[in-house]
Structures are given as C-alpha cells and as structure tokens.
C-alpha cells in the first residue's frame, strides 16, 4: 500500500470517526502492511497511469504500487476494477470484507465530503 493511499484512508476516517480513530487505523496499517514510500519512479508510474486511464491520482498510486509489487489490489473502486485487465484486483464488494461506513453525523468543525 502506498503512503499516498494511507493518507487517503486517514482523512476519510478522520472525517467520519475523528482524529484518534484515524491515527489508530494508520497504526494498524503500519503493523499489518508493507507501506510503500513513493519514489520518483513510482510518482512517474502513477502519473503515466493517470494520463492514460480515468482514475484519480490517488488511485493511480494504488495501482502503480500493486503492479510494482506484483500484488493483488483489493478495492471496491469501480474505476480501478473496470480499468486495465492486466491489473490484478479483488473486489471487496463481492468478498464481503468492505467496511460499513459510519452512520454517525459529522463532528462539529469537520468538513463534509469533498
């Protein structure tokens, strides 16, 4: 997993559950996964993917990192799942391992989804 995507997870959890929960999730990720620090090569690989596919820049890092490590990218993102057939993916929506989003209202002072 790219640190770019760790940042994405952090801000989503921070918005929904608050900073302590976001920090805990990042701590868990650090112990469970090998986190990829984006090198100049990885940045250019992600940029090349972004220029040729209809995916977000953060998604391009997820794909570039998975491809570089010959890993299966576990995602529920349709843009990735419907992307290049050479990308090894697993749809979390089909596997039942997707996390149900929080149903609690946004915390005061926290912006909504952007």
| pLDDT tens, per residue, the chain with 114 residues | 999 999 999 999 999 999 999 999 999 999 999 999 999 999 999 999 999 999 999 999 999 999 999 999 999 999 999 999 999 999 998 766 555 443 333 333 434 333
Predicted local confidence at residue 12, as pLDDT: 96
Predicted local confidence at residue 91, as pLDDT: 94
In the chain, where are the structural domains located?
3-91
Predicted local confidence at residue 22, as pLDDT: 98
67, 78, 86, 7: CA torsion to nearest 10: -10
CA distance 4 to 10: 10
In this prediction the pTM is: 0.77
């Amino acid at each position: 997993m790219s640190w770019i995507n760790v940042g994405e997870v952090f801000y989503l959890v921070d918005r929904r559950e608050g900073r302590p929960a976001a920090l805990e999730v990042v701590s868990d990720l650090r112990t469970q996964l090998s986190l990829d620090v984006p090198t100049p090569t990885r940045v250019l690989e992600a940029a090349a993917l972004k220029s040729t596919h209809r995916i977000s820049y953060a998604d391009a890092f997820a794909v570039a990192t998975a491809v570089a490590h010959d890993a299966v990218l576990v995602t529920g993102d349709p843009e990735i799942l419907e992307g290049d057939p050479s990308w090894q993916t697993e749809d979390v929506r089909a596997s039942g391992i997707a996390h149900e989003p929080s149903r609690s209202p946004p915390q005061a002072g926290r912006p909504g989804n952007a």
